[in-house]
Amino acid sequence: MRKLSMTWMLAAMLVATSCGNSTQQNDEPQPEQQEPVSQIEQVQQPTVQRAAFLPTQNTPDFVDAAENSVNAVVHIMTKVVRQSTTYNDFFGALLGQLYGYPGQTRNNTMVAYGSGVVLTPDGYIVTNNHVVDGADEVEVTFNNKVKRTATIIGTDPTTDLALIKVDASDLDYLVFGDSDQVRIGEWVLAVGNPFNLTSTVTAGIVSAKARNLSILGEGTSVESFIQTDAAVNPGNSGGALVNTKGELVGINAAIASHTGSYEGYSFAIPSNIVRKVVDDLLLYGTTQRGYLGVQIAELTQELAEKEGLENIEGVYVAEVTEGGAAKMAGLKAGDVITNINGKKVNSTTQLRENVGQYRPGDQVDVEVNRHGSHHHYTLTLLNEAGNVDVVKSGDSFYNAEFGLMLQSVNQNEMNRLNIRNGLKIVEIREGRFMNSGVPVDFVITKVNGYAVSNKTDLENALKNNRSRRTTIEGVYPNGMMGSFFY
């Protein structure tokens, strides 16, 4: 305002000076003059605005995305019933060990909570595996307070995902977005039920992608989380991560915390992995995992210098598996994978995420850097057994040496028996086990010291046996451990 006042003051002085000059005296006769006229132009006062942040077209609007999401995100309560066995005397314990007869039992019920995302109007819901892991009862509560009992369709511990189903129709649901298109710095919403507070929405940005936390174990696990700073707390697990369009771009799964509560970063499973796993569980009851057939390592500066590489870009192939997809296509140890189906890969995590979106039998274009020269190879992905056969949940196979029909144990049964792997006996035929006293439903966990989970594991355990006898370890249906040999 001070500058504005001086402007008006200067204008007034100029007008006064002009009037003074027009009245000067002169001795010569002057013609009759009219009264001098001073013309003053009116100066328009500028509009004054208070300092403020003006709205722009780029300001994110979360209202529509939040409204579309809260009705499609559900609250999940699970109950896990555990039986504990007690024996009154030595002979009762001995009989239990010999024959698997339980003594007195009592039930202990544990209750847990989480979130889930409705994917279809007829009640298919995705959540985390750890939300429903080992659950005997699953109850779903919708945003309108309606409750439904859910059944578990399938689980995949390697990605921490599970698919459940309720009997319903015309449900609100979310559509998948493309997680590959999610960009660092992009706004996202986390929707879930933290601390049992239903229908809670928080906002943040994508802080990083392809983050590996090493929380799902080694082996075939796929960890490539989207990292955000949207507030996520216990109870948010299985909830939605959505973009500003209201599309599902991730399933919230974990937080980085020293206290168990939110401390700045949360992690979600990318929607492209979720979509593929859900389809697998729906169609086959188990995940179909495709393999390149390579042992990979992070490409570091030291490794790049050792291999004579100018750029530290890609994933190093340390070994090519005999009979694997990569070997048959022409890849070699020492190659650096830089691209899969047109998508750059610069870490082992990115590579696993990319390949994890495909099934055995799918063809992928793999670009490799071989000593500075780039080559393209077309690979047909294979399953763990080295073929393109579809693996279905509950598929059984016959082992002639044992005379047994065997079946891989599902995750729920492994949780109940407190084991990490196993083959369940579903039928006993003529053979070594006919008069062994081992019952149907006995779960074989180890053969000759090797853990077994499928047909290939069992065949390898028998083939690698250098002893004259075969050792079997396992667990009875009631949870008692047992071992024997022949």
Q: Which residues are catalytic?
A: 130, 160, 237
Measured from the Cβ of residue 306, the count of other Cβ atoms closer than 10 Å reads: 9
Number of residues in the chain = 486
Alpha helices (H) along 22-138: 63-70, 90-99, 129-132
Beta bridge partners of 257: none
Q: Do residues 345 and 353 lie in contact, with contact meaning Cβ atoms separated by under 8 Å?
A: no
Q: What letter does residue 284 receive in the DSSP assignment?
A: H
Rounded Cα distance between 441 and 224, Å, is: 36
Find, among 335, 330, 340, the residue nearest to 363 by Cα: 340
The alpha carbon dihedral of 196, 202, 204, 209 has a sign of: positive
Contacts of 5 (CB under 8 A, 6+ apart): none
- Order of strands across the sheet that contains 137-141: 147-149, 137-141, 73-86, 104-118, 124-127, 161-165, 151-156
C-alpha dihedral, 113 to 412 to 450 to 440, nearest 10°: 160
The tokens describing 336, both together, are 């650096």
Residue 388 C-beta-side C-alpha neighbours within 13 Å: 10
Using CA atoms, how far apart are residues 71 and 125, in angstroms rounded to an integer?
A: 13
Residue 213 CA to residue 201 CA, distance in Å, equals 24
Tally of CB atoms within 10 A around 168? 18
Within the chain, what is the greatest distance between any pair of CA atoms? 150
Helix (H), strand (E) at residue 9: helix 2-21
3-class state of residue 261 by DSSP: coil
